[in-house]
Amino acid sequence: MTHNPHAAGNTPGSAAARSASFHQPMNPRRDPSVLTHTLARMLPLHSYQSQVYRLGEKYPPGFEDGFTPIWEVATALLPARQTTQLRINFQNQFHLLAIMGSSSLAGGFRVQLYDMKKQYCSWADAARRIVGAPQKPGVRLAGRGVNFATFLGTGSDPFFLREPHPFTEPNAQALVIVQNQDTSGASNQIQVALYGLARRFNWPD
């Protein structure tokens, strides 16, 4: 990794320099001139979504020890067009890896996820890379409520995040807002499952 002192501003050159310094190079150093499609780094050759986490790497950096798989589940039984809010309190250092969900009725549901404790700094001046004050806690994980079929997978076709989303703040909490989209009149059995890793409560014993 190299550091480029001129990697500020939004010129093509500085953007390329930032990218080169921030990401791993796409090609090994010995093959610098081999052309690679720009999307090739996004997924492995077989492009199974479940292989986004490189399985050859037994414990990815940051998850070397003391983590246990956890499924956190939100469940609702909703009449037509009804909305409800569900809150999940996470265990220590929960990292979201994949999201799954199911609807008992064909109409499905819309879902919006929030990380209630996450706090990012804003830009005081984005072009000049001047960091501003922290925003108030709470971020949404989608621009608006998403149809469950385009946001949630299933056990056999899970939707894996390209990078884990950390819920690492004290008393971390997710807010799940679901709205039943089925209009048949029957109540919809809705379930949203957040799969991730949490630190064992007795770690490091």
> Which stretch, 9-17, 26-34, 53-61, 138-146, contacts another protein (CB under 8 A)?
53-61
As measured in angstroms, the least distance from the Cβ of 37 to another protein is: 23
Question: Is residue 86 within the footprint of another protein (CB under 8 A)?
Answer: yes
- Maximum CA extent, the chain: 63
Contact 75, 190 (CB under 8 A): yes
- Lookup: tokens for 188: 């919809």
Which residue bears the tokens 């909490």? Answer: 173
Closest CA to 195 of 66, 67, 56, 106: 67
What does the alpha-carbon distance between residue 53 and residue 198 come to, in Å, rounded to a whole number? 17
Q: Which stretch binds another protein (CB under 8 A): 25-33, 34-42, 67-75, 133-141?
A: 67-75
Binds another protein (CB under 8 A): choice among 22, 71, 123, 203:
71
Three-state SS sequence of 139-171 = EECCCCCEEHHHCCECCCCCEEEEEEEEECCCC
**Minimum CB distance to another protein smaller for 27 or for 50:** 50
Taking the least distance from each CB to another protein, the nearer of 7 and 100 is: 100
Contacts with another protein in 92-121 (CB under 8 A)?
97-98, 100-102
Binding site for another protein (CB under 8 A): 48, 50-51, 53, 55, 58-60, 63, 67-78, 84, 86-89, 91, 97-98, 100-102, 154-158, 160, 176, 191, 193, 197, 200-202
